[in-house]
Amino acid sequence: MILRLSLSKGTSARINTPKRLLIQQSRAYSSIDDPAFRAHSTAVTDNTSSEYRSWQASQNIDIQRVTQTAMVHELTQQVSRSIEKVVPWFLNTMPAPYFRQVPESFRLDHIKAISAIKDASMDMHMNLKTHLPDGRQVLTFIRPGTMPGLLLAMIKELPFNQRSEEYMPLSRIQIYSAEDDSMSLNLFVYGEESKHQTDVTLTGSHVLEYAQQVMDGSLPPQDEYGRPNPKPNNTFERDNLIKHMEKCSESYILRSDPRRFLSQMQLFEKVSGSDNISVSTEYSYLDENNDEHYWIDIALANTLPHYALEQTTKLLFLHSFDVMRAHLDNVSDGDNGTITLLRMLVTPVNGAKGNEATFNLLHQELKRCKWLNDSTMELVFETHPWLGVRRGEIITAMASIMHPIMSKQNAIAFSKGNILETITKDRYIKHAAAIVDLFLDRFNPKGPLSDEELEAKSKELLSVIDNDVEDTSAQALLTKMIDIVKHTLRTNIYMNNRYALGLRLDPRIMSSEDEAPRETPYGVIFVHGRRFDGYHTRFRDIARGGMRLVTPASPEQYALESAHQYEECYGLAFAQQLKNKDIPEGGSKAVVLIDNIGMSGTGKDFVMRKSVKAFTDTILDLIVDTEETREEVVDFVGKKEVLYLGPDEQVTPEDINWVIKRAEQRGYDTPAAFMSSKPRAGINHKEYGVTSEGVNVYLDVALRHVLNIDPKQESFTIKITGGPDGDVAGNELKILAREYGDNAKVVGIADGTGCAEDPNGLAWDELLRLVNDNLPIDQFNPSKLGEGGAVHTVNTEEGVKARNSMHNRVQADAFVPAGGRPNTINIHNYKHFLNSDGSPSSPLIVEGANLFVTDEARQLLFEEAGVVIVKDSSANKCGVITSSYEICAAMMLSEEEFFENKDQIVSEVLNKLHNYAQLEAELLFREFKTYGGSLPELSKVVSDAVNAATDALSIALESFSAEDKEKLLPLFRVHLPKTMADMSFDKVHERVPAQYISNAIASCLASKMVYKEGTKFVNTLPKDKLASVALRYVEAEHQIVMLKNALEETEMPEKEKESILKLLEAGGARTALGVF
């Protein structure tokens, strides 16, 4: 054994001497027989050494030998006497479970280490580190005494955490206290135990025998210690037990008492397949001194064991419970990850009592701890423990909500940190707590405050704050907290098994007094959870939009993202609302800001996956209608809400599958539709190029209208941002080659790796090779370049400059941004897009990527250089239309039905996409030619016209009878792909929510009317007449169809008949209405 000791005696000799004794060993505590030790001993006793030692009498080698022998003898005797004293004490004072559960080799090493430190008259304070043969590490912490909080202090010293690239999970703990309270000895095992092919029927024979006795009823009601024996349960059937034990480590099975094993197995089953926590408490029947001792068993699904241990210990300490013994084990839960089983023997201290009320509160807060943010934990465990977990969580949530609102007034004074620090100061915390109590009273399911009571109590609090709080910033924040209470319409605060805290907000709370007026969203949901805050913003009652995960790389970037998080969510949702004009769902977006700064790759991914689960499950808390939510969620919205999510940045297929499965478990009406793009039942946007199919339609129409180029017959040049391996850019290249062949000359492409340019057009065979092999543009073969062509990579400064400027430098008829960062062309750099003579490098831009050009830059490029720009909300809308069809398919077809007919359905969807893109593109350029103005503004006018008509119709349909709605149902049927409609439309009322059907009818009619008659027709109608005119329009169209059919059968010259049919098609319905 090699000992490296830094020792201090007592308390008086501590100058420059560390307190701890660290013993490092190569494996399971190397013994004195270790070869390394023998080699060292041999070297010390070698009497042939000629090297001088200061303690030797160099003149006489015999004296040297005698001196050495005497020293060895004295030290041996001294150690022997120390061990003779320590062993009996150790055997008598360590609890019996220690000797059952800790291997003998470990126990011997503990005795040797304790003997050494006792012999040196030092404090009983040491750390031992062991490397096991299978790569695991064991840390043994020995400390003097057993005072409350000692375990928590040790846990905080543990060196391993998820931020380290060498992160090893905590896989087991064993906590013991000496019975004379002289010492605590705790083992922490890191790393997964190697799985061996062992026969669990042998390893767990003691468990199987005990379970068999339970099942056949041969056990007495109580065991020999007075503990109640478990009752028969299907879980304990032999096959079930064997299946469960195959998931467990061998050491866990061997160490487990059979009764304990069955009890923990029941907890395991309660949380298996979920992310939940289950807790049970039992009086300890083994205490000979009749003290209050309790066993607390906890099963935590999918958690970091280290974090679970630390937070549980913190909470027990907060509630005045001392941990006497503890065990932690991890059991596999298959695809769902692992379940951590934590068992603690606790005793109340400082006058606390282990009564039912205490344990009920403890159970509730233990379940919450897994999902609490660090700021909340610090607030309720360290700064103001009297607050309690529930109140602390609301305070930190309100601080997060206030940040994007208040930072607009003063970004420094109202930084996120300053906001929380201000409202939790000793001077103001009582006011914050009183506001939180108002929030809790407002949403207490047993007796919520009425609007009148809320208003009265709010005035009382405002009066107190006005009189007592002199600091203007603190006063503003506390006042805003009261506003948040008044603008909250639903919350899950009283749900026992919630993952995070969710608030359904009146969107007006998010507006700042200083900002310009803008459209108010329909609804906002805020979610506050562990390491994340999330917003979901939508502009219609039924809405769909992607969920994106934002993971800043530094604290500074995180602070900036936090201040702008709601604005980003609002802007994306509003853009989606403009884009969703052709579908039943309004626009929405979810932005989840996650703090995984400084973590390892594994840790970052773990936190992101947990954040997705907590965010989406909390949204379900606020929108599902179940017995649980009816009992625990007070509703001031007054109507059922329907929303759908989609994947966006950093959301994985595993996330999608989990969300859909969870929606089904939670009772969402159409779980398969809750999130689109499920791998098997979705329409992969990149595989089928759905966004690019629409982009190319707008490009085709624009080339014809703006440049008078027929791309089928004439050549044209185009430049693209976004790589051949990207979704929109790669598919656009395939479509250009398919539709126009060599007529389409791609003169420049740039992506993250570099750019390729060729004034004569990049070789199509090479471009398609890159697309098909999913390769970026830096892999373009230079030998395929023509004269003047070049490939630039970002490996050089020159290459970076070329890549970053390609979209400005290269001359082309059209520019399609199909990838790249938002706001690339903005008010500060838009002139770089112009040549020295003021002409544009491309007179036409079709925005395949979102927000590549800012609104200001679009307008200035049009005004100064005549650049015609097809805005993103028009050009790339086909992606969201496809997602809407995925939602319809998920509601109307089973997964098998969809999969069996997928090819035909996708083909029909692509035809629908071409049609919707063609209709809007023709309208845009028709009105651009007729009325002038910039095309981006016209695009917004079109979206606003369709959305206004949809909203008016949706409201009108609420008063319609079922019979009248049924007459309009064909509008929805025609909107759907034919195969989907043929297979399931007869069951539409059974499978599709009534709200969705109404929205579908409204949006189909609105878009039909605007595309046919133009925006002026809709915008000039009085808003209160819009719905009635639209409904009359449907009747008029029906009459026109009948007239056209009659005319087809009439005998008259074909030329005249064709002219009349065209007139009826162009303006017949409008003429019939008498509206011009």
Q: What is the pLDDT of residues 891-905, one digit of tens each?
A: 999 999 999 999 999
What pLDDT shows up at residue 1070? Answer: 61
Kindly report each contact of residues 37-45 with a partner whose C-beta sits within 8 Å and lies 24 or more positions away, as own/partner: 37/1, 37/2, 40/2, 44/68
What pLDDT shows up at residue 45? Answer: 35
- pLDDT-derived band at 104, boundaries 50, 70, 90: confident
The predicted-structure confidence for 399-418, as pLDDT tens digits, reads as follows 999 999 999 889 899 999 99
The predicted-structure confidence for 640-684, as pLDDT tens digits, reads as follows 898 999 988 889 989 999 999 999 999 998 899 999 888 778 898
Look at 83 and 705; give whichever has higher pLDDT.
Answer: 705
The predicted-structure confidence for 480-502, as pLDDT tens digits, reads as follows 999 999 999 999 999 988 999 99
**Do residues 877 and 582 lie in contact, with contact meaning Cβ atoms separated by under 8 Å?**
yes
Range 702-730 average pLDDT = 96
**pLDDT at residue 1046 greater than cutoff 80:** no
Owner of token pair 């919205």 = 637
Among 991, 996, 995, 1014, CA closest to 1067: 1014
- pLDDT-derived band at 877, boundaries 50, 70, 90: very high
Catalytic residue among 112, 457, 579, 589: 589
CA distances from 134 to 1, 138, 338, 544, 799 (A): 20, 12, 20, 50, 49
**Do residues 954 and 998 lie in contact, with contact meaning Cβ atoms separated by under 8 Å?**
yes
For the chain, what is the radius of gyration of the CA atoms?
A: 36
- Which of 75-89, 632-646, 926-940 comes out lowest in average pLDDT? 75-89
What pLDDT shows up at residue 166? Answer: 65
Range 798-816 average pLDDT = 96
Active site residue 231: no
**Do residues 839 and 828 lie in contact, with contact meaning Cβ atoms separated by under 8 Å?**
no
- pLDDT-derived band at 267, boundaries 50, 70, 90: very high
**pLDDT at residue 11 greater than cutoff 50:** no
* Rounded distance between C-alpha atoms, residue 481 and residue 496, angstroms: 24
* Rounded distance between C-alpha atoms, residue 999 and residue 906, angstroms: 23
- pLDDT-derived band at 36, boundaries 50, 70, 90: very low
The predicted-structure confidence for 907-929, as pLDDT tens digits, reads as follows 999 999 999 999 999 999 999 99
* Rounded distance between C-alpha atoms, residue 820 and residue 823, angstroms: 9
What pLDDT shows up at residue 548? Answer: 92
* Positive or negative: CA dihedral 239, 193, 28, 40: positive
**Do residues 991 and 891 lie in contact, with contact meaning Cβ atoms separated by under 8 Å?**
yes
If DSSP codes are grouped into helix, strand and coil, which group holds residue 607? helix
CA distances from 56 to 41, 65, 72 (A): 17, 9, 14
Tokens of 659: 């969300």
**pLDDT at residue 826 greater than cutoff 50:** yes
Stretch (H or E) spanning 183: strand 183-190
- pLDDT-derived band at 534, boundaries 50, 70, 90: very high
Proportion of the chain above pLDDT 90, given as a percent: 58
**Do residues 603 and 623 lie in contact, with contact meaning Cβ atoms separated by under 8 Å?**
no
What pLDDT shows up at residue 52? Answer: 45
